[in-house]
Amino acid sequence: MYWELEKMKWARSHPEIYTQAFEESKRYCKLCNEPAYEDYMLKDELWLAHFNNLELVHLQCFEKNLGRPLEADDFSPAPINNNIRWALTRN
Ligand SMILES: [Zn+2]
């Protein structure tokens, strides 16, 4: 999803699947395989329906995969989303 700090915390609490592969692959979009540096968090129910917590996906790739535009309510209340939520709710 994802915010690097949250992802690291989650990974450390699941050592059975925290592997070297995660370290090596975490900066590439799961869908297009291009480098990804997005920092955002979608709500768990939306993200986990499509990807796991170790995966990283561009926002635009996530939208294309989802088949509809993302809305402010799709993002978690985490502070990292403040700018995105602001941009999506100003009219
Ligand atoms: Zn992508």
Residue 3 tokens read as 């915010």
pLDDT tens digit sequence for 46-66: 999 999 988 899 999 999 999
pLDDT tens digit sequence for 63-88: 999 999 999 999 999 999 999 999 99
Distance 10 CA to ligand 1 centre (A): 22
Distance 30 CA to ligand 1 centre (A): 7
Residues by chain with Cβ below 5 Å of ion ligand 1:
29, 31-32, 58, 61
Residue 7 has pLDDT above 90, yes or no: no
Residue 26 has pLDDT above 70, yes or no: no
Residue 1 has pLDDT above 70, yes or no: no
Residue 30 has pLDDT above 60, yes or no: yes
- pLDDT attached to residue 60: 95
